[in-house]
Amino acid sequence: MITDYSEEIIDDLFFNVIKKDNSIIINLKNKNNVLISSWLNGGLCHNMTNVVNMSTDEKDYDDLTDGDFENFQKNKFLNLGLNPEKTSGLLTSACMDNYAISVKKYEKLKVTSIVTAGADKNAVKAGDPASFYEYNNNYFNHFGTINIIILIDANLHDGALITASITATEAKTSVLQDLKIESQYSSHIATGTGTDGICIISNKDSQNHIENAGKHSKLGELIATSVQEATREALYLQTFMSVDFQSTVLSRLSRFNITFDDFYTHTSIDKKEYATKFYYFNNNTQNVAFVSSIINLIDEVNIGLLKLDDILTPVNILLTSYLHLEIENKKIENVEDIIFLLIDSINKYLFD
């Protein structure tokens, strides 16, 4: 069923962007080439009329359980009044009200990035344990996605679309790493989510022919800064992930599954009294810096840059000097022992 509600977001000579119900619809006005991670008309295609970023909800999940994403998208595009043979798109559970747009220009180059981003449910570092196994197109999928659509007002060689997608993906990952967004499947910092989507579109009617969108090129710079800006904003709009979100002790420790209760259960103090004192410690940014210093050493052990024995003396010095405590000599056999030594030391600092 086609609905009447729509809102125009951008009107450009190359394209216009409309928000319609739970979809962002890009209407392409010129000849184009498109690289997209879509089930319907995915991969490299030419002269598409529309690209869609669409939000799914619980009532859609029954239609997706058989893994027929291509037919699901086709029906959704028909419901929006679009030709499924000339339309491609991305799916997400993020709300379309939380889209972010960033436009970057340099002389005759212009790059527009449109991003929706949720990374609080299935953020993951490449190489973390898998959450599903696919065999013969049968699998179960989780949504909570960073979708990136980039419109480049220049005529890109088909191969340059691939390079542009590499640049954009690294730009997205850099935002997650800068914000130290945690993987939901390990103690590592995430590099993306398990269901991220990307779309690169170039204007084939442009007289500006470009064959390089790598990170050394000006186009690559515009792609990266545009994606970074829009991804930061979209993450904040959808999940409140931001610099402020990460500015507490507990937020830095959360990727090790440490919560307030892990601190409190190691004491015999009245919970209200404990929470009051802990609140101030937790929100003091110098304390965040101190805890982050220890976490950074743990990270180096976890990725193999240092061995556990290499960091024991530095950790002990940090705990002793910053908390003004005599740290008991405890046997440290793994990084988890260091985390709990940190918790015990902070509790001793707060209440001894």
What is the DSSP code (8-state) at residue 312?
Answer: H
Task: Please state the separation of Cα 298 from the chain's center in Å.
Answer: 23
Candidates 34, 35, 1, 33; CA nearest to 20 is 1
For residue 218, the one-letter residue type is K
Q: Give the sign of the dihedral formed by CA 128, CA 70, CA 162, CA 176.
A: negative
What pLDDT shows up at residue 141?
A: 47
pLDDT at 128: 67
Radius of gyration of the chain (CA): 24
148: region left, alpha or beta (phi > 0 left; psi from -120 to 50 alpha): beta
* DSSP SS3 for 253: helix
Give the model's pLDDT for residue 194.
Answer: 87
Sequence ranges of the chain with CATH classification 3.60.70: 7-240
Measured in degrees and rounded to the nearest 5, phi and psi for residue 307 equal -95, 160
Give the containing element (helix H, strand E) for 26.
strand 23-28
CA dihedral over 137, 142, 143, 144, signed as positive or negative: negative
CA 22/CA 35 separation, integer angstroms: 23
Which tokens is 38 given? Answer: 């879509």
* CA dihedral (294, 295, 297, 301) positive or negative: positive
Q: How much is the pLDDT for 67?
A: 65
According to CATH, what is the number of the domain 7-240? 3.60.70
Cβ atoms of 227 and 112 within 8 Å: the answer is no
Sequential pLDDT tens for the chain (352 residues): 444 568 999 999 999 999 998 999 999 999 999 999 999 999 999 999 999 999 987 677 666 656 688 999 999 999 999 999 999 999 998 999 999 999 999 999 999 999 999 876 677 767 767 665 454 555 444 456 899 999 999 999 999 999 999 999 999 999 999 999 999 889 999 999 988 999 999 999 999 999 999 999 999 999 999 999 999 999 999 988 899 989 999 999 999 999 999 999 988 899 999 999 999 999 999 999 999 999 999 999 999 999 999 999 999 999 999 999 988 778 899 999 999 999 999 999 998 7
pTM greater than 0.85 (yes/no): yes
Number of other residues whose CB lies within 10 A of the CB of residue 267: 17
- Could you tell me the sign of the dihedral formed by the alpha carbons of 245, 247, 252, 253, in that order? negative
Question: What whole-number distance in Å separates Cα of residue 349 and Cα of residue 352?
Answer: 6
Q: Which two tokens stand for residue 326?
A: 């005599």
Beta strand 155-156 with 197-203 is unpaired
Q: Which two tokens stand for residue 235?
A: 């993450």
Whole-number pLDDT of residue 201 = 98
Handedness of CA 220, 169, 125, 240 (dihedral sign): positive
CB of 160 closer than 8 Å to CB of 210:
yes
Q: Quick one: DSSP state of residue 189?
A: B
